[in-house]
Copies of this chain bind each other. A is one copy, B any other.
Amino acid sequence: MGSERFADLGVHHDRLQRAQEEMAREGVDVLVVGPSPDLRYLIGYAGHVSERMNLLVLPRTGDPAYVVPVLEAPRLAGLRELLGVHPWEETQTPAEVVAGVVGDVAGKTVAVGDQLWSVFLLALQEAMPDARWVSATPTLRPLRMVKDGREIELMREGARRTDDAWEEFIAAPLAGQTENEALDRLLALTHGRGLGPGFGSCGSGPNSASPHHETSDRVIQPGDAVVFDWGGTLEGYFSDVTRTIHVGEPSEEFRRVYDVVLRANQAALDAVAPGVPCEAIDEAARALIGEEGYGAAFIHRVGHGLGLDVHEEPYLVSGNATPLLAGMVFSDEPGIYLQGRFGVRVEDAVLCTDTGGERLNEATRELSIVG
């Protein structure tokens, strides 16, 4: 009756305890987290993003508390073994309710979940002017970026269903459809396999050369390269794949570029192992593309962490020396973009295991030519 069902309170109890250990290491006294993937990770409840303040308050020692609008409090009935619930009435000032729960913060450090809206942080800063405010990323990153067995199982299954949607998708012709129509069909096939809302983009012909192209009503034509980058969610965990296909017979140059990208994707995968710095994975793909003469056309990082957020730590980018650990999942997505002509990107989700990189995606990687 309005209450969510929560399984595995034990898992979340452990995660909260590990967060407290990280807080101690980081010198953080209090952690506050609003509705977000961080919240879902910690307590199994994603919260309800709205103008009404919702906030997990975790002290470095002692029990967690959740400050919630009174209307939404019934949803948390199943969490009362995990945390104290503090409902606020519509006539109260929620930041003051939080300040009361937090207690004296003079000289203390409060870490704030990244996605909390600024309007709430500003209200908290006003209600607790003597605290020091920092980002919660250093505290939560070590937890979220290494996936446990259950998380890996969900991501493996999400990847499998996304791949399966792709195989059905490329069995039909594309020419004559708009980018929006083609993407809608791919997303419908993905959701039809039980995945929740994710994201998607389609760039065709010259649009394929713009990696952040907004999917348009351009009609896909013979001679086009077409890049699809999409994913869905399984219990909140994202899949994220990119495939580039060609409508009708491609040019020699397209074939060559496609082959370079495919080899760069493999080079990045081959570089994955525990202890290797994130930036070395980027460099592995970049060196190969550079040697082939397309260095200037690979205009983005090679990958990003994947999980409850579609982009999360670790980022595989020049300058990030963070060593890979077994259990990390991230994208491997080199691309070559020839402005005004075409682009190619091939992306898989990759799991770092004890012995190296393992692809979670196995959707057809060889060049597909469609009608």
Contacts and interface: CB of A to CB of B under 8 A. Distances in A.
A249 interface: no
A148 interface: no
Q: Copies per complex?
A: 2
A256 interface: no
A212 interface: yes
A355 interface: no
Contact of A112 (B51, B118, B213, B300): B118
A75 interface: yes
Interface in A124-171: 125, 133-135, 137
A117 B121 CA distance: 9
Given A71-B211, A118-B135, 10 more contacts: A1-B213, A2-B207, A2-B212, A50-B311, A71-B300, A72-B212, A75-B212, A112-B122, A114-B119, A119-B135
Interface of A: 1-2, 4, 48, 50-51, 70-72, 74-75, 90-91, 112-123, 125, 133-135, 137, 197, 203, 206-207, 209-214, 299-301, 309, 311-312, 317-319, 340
26 contacts: A1-B210, A2-B210, A2-B212, A2-B213, A50-B311, A51-B114, A71-B211, A71-B212, A71-B300, A72-B212, A90-B317, A90-B318, A112-B122, A114-B118, A115-B117, A115-B118, A116-B117, A117-B117, A117-B118, A118-B118, A118-B120, A119-B137, A122-B133, A122-B134, A123-B135, A197-B197
